[in-house]
Structure 1
Amino acid sequence: MNNPVIILVAPQMGENIGATARAMKNFGLTNLRIVAPRDGWPNDKASSVAVAAIDILSNAKIYDDLASSIADLEYVYATTSVPRDMNKNYILSKELPDHYPKQLKVGIMFGRENCGLTNQEITIANKIITIDTDHNFSSLNIAQAVIIICYELFKSQERTDLVNTQLLATKEQMDYFFAHLFTELDKKNFFKVAQKRPQMTRNIMNIFYRIENLSNTELQTLRGVISALTKK
């Protein structure tokens, strides 16, 4: 299995970042990305909690926005304990080893301590992970959620899957595709009601992100289709 990227989106407490680093090191994960940490970076509280996992913090990559943090990734999971009103595939954490695309560059997103990930952030994920907890109390600390996911992946390290040798589309390439598509739709006045545009764009993005293993070549074909349909 490749080494997935753990992505903390706008974490609010340095202690949780440090505890996340420890959880990752417990199960052999080393790639940590942090998006817009509330208290800035570096963070002394994160370092004091990380202890022997300080190397993961030292090598962590810091980003100003989510889009840049996942631009090079081919497959992204979003974690949430709250059901979302969107047509996107869900899996339980214990099912992750059976669904994990081992040959791809994978990222797993974790949201803010107080409210998790936004619907817009979840839209860009290929799939949602829900940790199977008691339905009466499903809220988890970030580091607790991270360690459960890391443990499930660690258990499956010896498993093997069929290898897909095609070069898959990255999130950055998907962003270019959506920009192209929405630009042309705007020209055709597809979004007639401005207030509905955000929800409609999310719906369109969810349609494409449900496609498993979309290759870069296939994505270029889709862009060619758009160009052909809009050519004067």
Structure 2
Amino acid sequence: MAITKYLAKRITNYNNPNSLGSWFRKRRAASLMKMIEVVFSQKGTVNIIDIGGTRTYWKIIEDDYLASKNCKITLVNLTKTDCPEDNVFQEVIGDGRHLDFADMSFDIAHSNSVIEHVGGWQDMVDFSQELARVAERFYVQTPSFWFPVEPHAMFPLFHWLPISLRKKLVMQQALGNWQKAATEEDASRIVSSARLLTKKQMRQLFPGASINTEWFVFPKSYLALKL
């Protein structure tokens, strides 16, 4: 559907610093920078693990700022990305549900719009527990189930529809960031690739953390913070 592709380009194109999605990310960066400031004041360096992270995402913070705080950021992804490694960034292959790092290896664990993609509920539990295990502080953002536009399909009410109808829709046309499904199996994979969460579920996944709501008329996303 052309309109959903257009919306995806205008809203969730994070290569465009003027997109709505980029604006929200930059606004949320204040909480992340506060964490960085606290750690830097205590240690003089800041060691961050970003699960599912990309170099593009970190454009929300100036490179000079990250360097001035002696930040070392380890990006963890299932496959290699095109991230150039430098004095700040390095990349490793790994699974956020089973991280190959010792307890408290990092100062901050970070994840942006990833937990909704890791699988079923137990996968999310494993993911959240690993974040809390490898770092004293964490910053975890995820889209809200209660926002009326599904952020991947860019289709109103899509995630509230029965699974059978969602599969039918993705087999009929490309939606948002999703290509048209070629088979029913492909449709099932696409539909199950994102499982949006409620605030109650985020509280269950991150007990003891503060769960902040980002609003855009409706709850747009949730941010789990442990400072």
Q: Same fold (TM over 0.5)?
A: no
Which structure has more strand as a fraction of its residues? 2
Which structure has more helix as a fraction of its residues? 1
TM-score by length of 2: 0.32
Question: Which one has more relative contact order, counting CA pairs under 8 Å at least 6 apart?
Answer: 1
Larger radius of gyration: 1
